Chain A
Amino acid sequence: MPSVVVENISKSFTAEKKKVLALGDISFDVAKGALFGVIGPDGAGKTTLFRILTTLILADKGKVEIDGFDVVKEYKDIRKRIGYMPGKFSLYQDLTVEENLEFFATIFNTTIKENYSLIKEIYQQIEPFKDRRAGKLSGGMKQKLALSCALIHRPSILFLDEPTTGVDAVSRKEFWHMLKQLQKEGITILVSTPYMDEAALCDTVALIQNGKFLSIDTPEGTVSLFKKPLWAVKSDNMYKLQQDLKQFEGMASIYPFGEYYHLSLNRDSILQEDISAYLTSKVHQGLEINPIKAGIEDVFMELMKSTDD
């Protein structure tokens, strides 16, 4: 039995007398013990989805089962077995690290001791500061404390809504490492993030935009959705390069990626020499043109454009 079964859920909100669709007809399953990533920008519907799954709000229509329990009728059973970390840092800022952990342990009818082995590796990193008020912790430490609190009752499914937003690259790396460790304990993990580069670390990735899934697949499968030829291009004058590439015959899209531009073409017939010749004619120096494999972000933008049209 999958840990999460979602069938055709939709949800809209009313804002300024207009109906805004937050989620439109979404369906997916998450296998037991899987690490499932929901990736998309702010306002795509990630938080709404997570709140429906954690029984916090009701969908307008559709069906959701968590560990076989219905989110509407059997919400009490679900609340006993899930761990949830909301997007905003949601612990008591005026309570110390230890007080927070103890409080959440008691709320879930357990003690810190009982499940210490599960959180040990995470909690040990903040234990030296256990008498510090949670509000006085750094971003990375708050995140570790929040995760410890969400895990203290050894949930069978863990929901993490944007745990790495606003966190620096070092803490993000550490955080994903922790998630991988937790997965080994048999916990099913659903995590949402706006950072495309985190997709590679999930078993399954759902790309979400405007309340709809653009794709659900393994990271490799997702990447293979990009069918067009893709080139990384670089020159000494990047600003001019972009202007010139936009005029290039056969250009499908051109986006900056780090120090390169990713140029996708709408024809397979265009060769490296053709691009090179065109750019040389535009007087570019230090040209570098390489064929590359698409990444998640390339796919996301491609799918985003195709649904917009």
Chain B
Amino acid sequence: MIELNTHMITADKLTKQFGDFTAVDQISFDVSKGEIFGFLGANGAGKTTAMRMLCGLSLPTSGKASVNGFDVNTETEKIKRSIGYMSQKFSLYEDLTVRENMRFYGGIYGMTIPQIKLKTQYILEHLHLEKEKDTLVGSLPLGWKQKLSFSVAIFHDPSIVFLDEPTGGVDPITRREFWEMIYEAAHKGTTIFVTTHYMDEAEYCNRVCIMVDGRIEAMDTPANLKKQYESAHMEDVFLKLARKATRIAD
């Protein structure tokens, strides 16, 4: 359930410059508790840079933002502890087994052994992976890996989870099962911040923000955006906006 009055992420004129190149240009938005917030943009629009600042991996040049109540300028360590993160590239250690990976990530976030055991058991049952608990992650099919790494990203029950193109290259059924997991987490009150290249996935978000040339060009519910831009699909909305881009290089 979305709690509109509880803002888990707030960004106020958040800006990042690299030399005289402004990667992210004064973006402002709020994300409410339990919301699935879609973050879209063409390659090089500034998505990754913005996400990095919110995860406490990169400091803003100017502007303010807070994540889970912590300041991205001063409290990056606290932010890192309270969020979950998953990307298409960085997921799990391929040469560790399913259980070892969970044990490791639980340990990183300071969970106790009994907590880790309990949670591991829960996830294995939930994903029907009991038989594979001692299998090396590297030998699992891609779809399972992605589902598993999402489970690991929310292993420590973070209040916010950042997902960077989590479903790239995954088969359509697994992609949907993945979104079911996202829905379930959001339903339990986890805030989801997600980027994707699949425009139908944009429809699954409560609100979508589209970045063009480092600025937020549009931000609303998918339904309102489609109405505003007189389009049948989010893809057309995206194409209309992204074609305005003048920036070419990453």
Contact = CB atoms under 8 A, between A and B. Distances in A.
Contacts of B179: 256
A168 B42 contact: yes
Interface stretch (A109-117, A132-140, A177-185, A271-279): A132-140
A88 interface: no
B35 to A, nearest CB: 13
A304 B177 CA distance: 14
Interface in A236-261: 238-239, 242, 255-259
B43 A140 contact: yes
Contact of A138 (B139, B223, B242, B250): B250
B171 A139 contact: no
Interface in A168-212: 168-171, 173, 194-197, 209
Nearest to B43: A139
A16 to B, nearest CB: 6
B43 A168 contact: yes
Nearest to A162: B169
A297 interface: yes
A300 B234 CA distance: 22
Contacts of A195: 198
Contacts of A242: 180, 183
21 contacts: A16-B139, A18-B139, A41-B170, A42-B170, A43-B141, A129-B248, A166-B168, A168-B41, A169-B197, A169-B235, A170-B243, A170-B245, A196-B172, A238-B183, A242-B183, A255-B173, A256-B176, A256-B179, A259-B222, A301-B173, A304-B172
A165 interface: yes
Q: Interface size class for chain A?
A: 35 or more
B81 interface: no
A170 B172 contact: no
A199 to B, nearest CB: 12
A129 B176 CA distance: 40
B176 A137 contact: no
A57 interface: no
A40 interface: yes
A35 interface: no
Contacts of A297: 172
A170 B168 contact: no
A73 interface: no
Contacts of B44: 138-139
Contacts of A44: 171
Contact of B242 (A16, A168, A209, A258): A168
B204 interface: yes
A118 interface: no
